[in-house]
Amino acid sequence: MSSTEYVILLYGDPQAWRSYTAAERAENMARHDAFSRECAEQGYVITGGRELTDAEGATAVRRQPDGGPPVVSEGPYAETVEQLGGFYVIETDDFDGLVALVAHHLEEHAEIRASVRQDDRDDAAASATAGVAS
């Protein structure tokens, strides 16, 4: 049985991050380093992840409900203080342990979701097709 791949989305206030002192930023990064080390020690496999640039530099492509041409715009889009600031991609069979590590080490707000693998999607499509054929 293969382990499940989870994406951990990290949200924070970019204004607060910009106001951090060098020592506060170093402390935050040390928490991420400790998280990564403990993941490795406990058998969680980090397969990806990055800090993202500030949302003010993002570009959005939004589809129109009426099917019109997409609208391309620049800048922050969410009407919230918190913005997506980074992510990890981690493989594990121990979801509860992963949640505990995130809660213990990371100070950002986190959303953890299982990813949908292509072979899972193919299996679901094959099952649906088999059900129709019978």
Residue 134 lies in a domain: no
Q: CATH number, domain at 30? A: 3.30.70.1060
The angle that helices 95-105 and 22-41 make with each other, rounded to 10 degrees, is: 160
* Burial class of residue 2 in the structure, from the number of CB atoms within 10 Å of its CB (0-12 exposed, 13-18 middle, 19+ buried): exposed
Tell me what percent of the residues of the chain surpass a pLDDT of 70: 84
Residue 21 lies in a domain: yes
- pLDDT given for residue 117 in this prediction: 81
Residue 90 lies in a domain: yes
Residue 77 lies in a domain: yes
pLDDT confidence tier of residue 95, bands split at 50, 70 and 90: very high
Residue 92 lies in a domain: yes
Residue with tokens 């213990």: 104
Q: How many domains, in total, are found in the chain? A: 1
- Backbone phi, psi, residue 68, to 5°: -65, 180
CA–CA distance, 110 with 31 (Å, rounded to integer) = 14
CB contact at 8 A, 126 and 100: no
Global pTM reads: 0.81
> Domain of 19?
4-129
Residue 104 lies in a domain: yes
